[in-house]
Structure formats: structure tokens, C-alpha cells
């Protein structure tokens, strides 16, 4: 369970960053100068782990790191990457076998003892450090490279989506609970995304992982399910556009409350956070508008007939 004080700080940050006059909303996330990093970087962590496990065969390596919740694997480009979420929570160093103590120390350094740094923006770093203390899984996204379609690493893309969501006038009309649901869904929507490649499975895989990640917050089952629903369907526009899922099916699954409105807000921000030049959004904005109108109309009809 996440410490109550930490949860309080996390929710306070979510409230602070949505302020129209606040630092987060006025940070130029598109700038080449905006680049979050870690004092103990993801690259250094992976290199240290590989050095520790390299004397062992593949199966033993998997068992050694798997004990701490992750594995090191090759992506489609042959680059070493993290799968899973390194953690030493609920583990006692004195109970760890000698072979695994070095891994324990690296994981502790990467998760519990690490710090986000943002060049020339200490206030933003302060926000991000509260977020990663509450959601250490987010550490695996910092400086994680996306497929070449994208202009941003996964962490920067995620923060740009979050900013875009909160800049949408429709967001400000949402109740506070819906705003928090949407903020958390955005932070975790690409949590399982594979590095350097197109990953069509990440919405469903991310939703499953998020269900477990959010257990530590002690939130209600309904809230967890809503956040996971948003993540599972954050690719709705692509599926709608390609005819993979019908408008009727989306309307049926997303008819409750503001769920579909929240997904539409997120889809717009997600498109705008792909390319610096906005070309990706311009390519699909008409489809977004058509899909929003069609599915919203079907939802309205469902509710009227109920």
C-alpha cells in the first residue's frame, strides 16, 4: 500500500499541474531543451544489470532479474531494454542470496534512491519526483525511445499528452473525480509500450498492468476499472478508422458517465503529441471529429432508450 502522505502529495500534484496559470501548463514540452533525465539513468541501470548477470546462462539471468519484477530483453532493433517494473518493495537485503545482492542494490538505486532531473527547471523536476515516488513504474519510461514515427521519447510524449488533455476546454468541465481518472490514465497509458517499435498490444497490456499497479493506492474497484477502461481503449480512433471495432461496440462499452468524452479528449492530445509539426493530428482530425460525433450520438440514443 502506498504511504498515505505520498498519496496525498501525489493527488496534490495532480491538482497543481492542472492550474491554467501554473508552471506545468506553461512549460514548453516541445522544446529540445525539455528533456527529463535520471541521476541514475535507465541506460546505466540496464548496463549495470547486464554486467552482473552476464556470467550466467539465459534461464538463470531471467530468474535473477525476475525475482525483482523485470527482465532485460532485446527489442526489434536489437537494443537492450527493460520489460516489467524493477522493485525491492517488501524485500529485505539480508534475505537475498549473495548472487542477487548486487541486483538488489541496483534496483534500489534505480527506484527508491533515484531522482528525476530537468535541465533549468527544478520546479518541474519536483513535480515529476512526486509522481515517480507514487508511480515508480514511470521510471522505466524516462528516456525510452519510441518508434521513428514519434518525435518524442515515451516520457516526454506522455507529459505532452497530459498537458494537451488539461488544455482542452472540455477537460475543465469534467468533475474532479473524472479529471483525476483521466490524469492517471494518461500517465500510465503507454506503460508497457515496447521500445523502438510499433506496439499494437500496449493498450490492452497496459490496462492489465495498471490494474495491478493501482492496487497500492487503495482506490475503489470502480475507479481502477475506469482508469483501465480508458487505457485499454486509448487506441479507439485507430480501431474506429480501420473498421476493427464498430461505433456501436464502442458506444456500448463506453456509454457510462463521461468515459467516451474523456477518451476523445485524450485522443486529440495523443495525436498532437506524436510529431512536433502537428502533422499527425492534421492527418486524423477529421476522423476524430466524425468518430466523436457518431459514437456520442449512439451513446445518447442508448441512454434515451434505457
Do 215 and 73 reside in the same domain of the chain? no
Domain span at residue 44?
40-114
Global pTM value: 0.95
Do 149 and 260 reside in the same domain of the chain? yes
Cell of 94: 539480508
Of the residues 70, 88, 114, which one is the last residue of a structural domain? 114
Among left, alpha and beta (phi > 0; psi -120 to 50; other), residue 218 is: left
Q: How many domains does the chain have?
A: 2
pLDDT 10s per residue in the chain (306 long)? 568 889 999 999 999 999 999 999 999 999 888 999 999 999 999 999 999 999 999 999 999 999 999 999 988 788 999 999 999 999 999 999 888 999 999 999 999 999 999 988 999 999 999 999 999 999 999 999 888 888 899 999 999 999 999 999 999 999 999 999 999 999 999 999 998 888 899 999 999 999 999 998 889 999 999 999 999 999 999 999 999 999 999 999 999 999 999 999 999 999 999 998 888 999 999 999 999 999 999 999 987 876
CA-CA distance, 155 to 162, in Å (whole number)? 11
Of the residues 61, 85, 114, which one is the last residue of a structural domain? 114
Per the document, the length of the chain is 306
Amino acid at each position: 500500500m502506498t504511504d498515505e502522505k505520498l498519496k496525498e502529495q501525489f493527488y496534490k500534484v495532480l491538482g497543481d499541474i492542472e492550474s491554467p496559470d501554473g508552471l506545468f501548463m506553461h512549460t514548453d514540452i516541445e522544446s529540445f531543451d525539455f528533456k527529463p533525465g535520471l541521476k541514475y539513468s535507465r541506460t546505466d541501470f540496464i548496463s549495470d544489470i547486464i554486467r552482473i548477470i552476464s556470467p550466467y546462462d539465459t534461464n538463470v539471468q531471467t530468474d535473477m532479474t525476475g525475482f525483482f519484477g523485470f527482465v532485460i530483453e532485446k527489442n526489434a532493433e536489437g537494443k537492450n531494454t527493460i520489460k516489467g517494473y524493477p522493485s525491492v518493495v517488501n524485500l529485505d537485503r539480508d534475505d537475498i542470496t549473495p548472487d542477487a545482492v548486487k541486483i538488489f542494490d541496483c534496483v534500489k538505486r534505480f527506484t527508491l534512491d533515484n531522482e528525476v532531473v530537468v535541465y533549468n527547471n527544478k520546479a518541474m523536476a519536483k513535480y515529476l519526483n512526486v509522481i515517480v515516488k507514487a508511480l515508480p513504474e514511470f521510471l522505466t519510461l524516462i528516456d525510452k525511445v519510441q518508434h521513428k514515427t514519434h518525435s518524442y521519447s515515451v516520457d516526454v510524449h506522455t507529459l505532452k499528452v497530459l498537458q494537451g488533455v488539461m488544455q482542452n476546454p472540455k477537460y475543465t468541465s469534467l468533475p474532479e473525480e473524472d479529471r483525476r481518472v483521466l490524469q492517471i490514465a494518461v500517465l500510465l497509458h503507454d506503460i508497457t509500450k515496447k521500445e523502438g517499435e510499433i506496439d499494437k498490444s500496449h493498450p490492452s497490456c497496459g490496462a492489465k498492468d495498471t490494474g495491478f499497479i493501482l492496487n497500492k493506492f487503495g482506490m475503489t474497484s470502480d475507479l481502477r476499472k475506469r482508469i483501465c477502461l480508458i487505457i485499454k481503449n486509448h487506441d479507439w480512433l485507430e480501431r474506429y478508422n480501420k473498421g476493427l471495432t464498430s461505433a456501436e461496440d464502442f458506444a456500448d462499452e463506453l456509454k457510462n458517465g463521461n468515459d467516451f468524452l474523456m477518451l476523445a479528449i485524450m485522443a486529440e492530445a495523443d495525436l498532437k503529441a506524436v510529431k512536433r509539426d502537428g502533422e499527425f493530428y492534421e492527418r486524423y482530425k477529421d476522423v476524430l471529429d466524425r468518430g466523436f460525433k457518431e459514437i456520442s450520438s449512439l451513446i445518447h440514443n442508448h441512454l434515451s432508450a434505457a
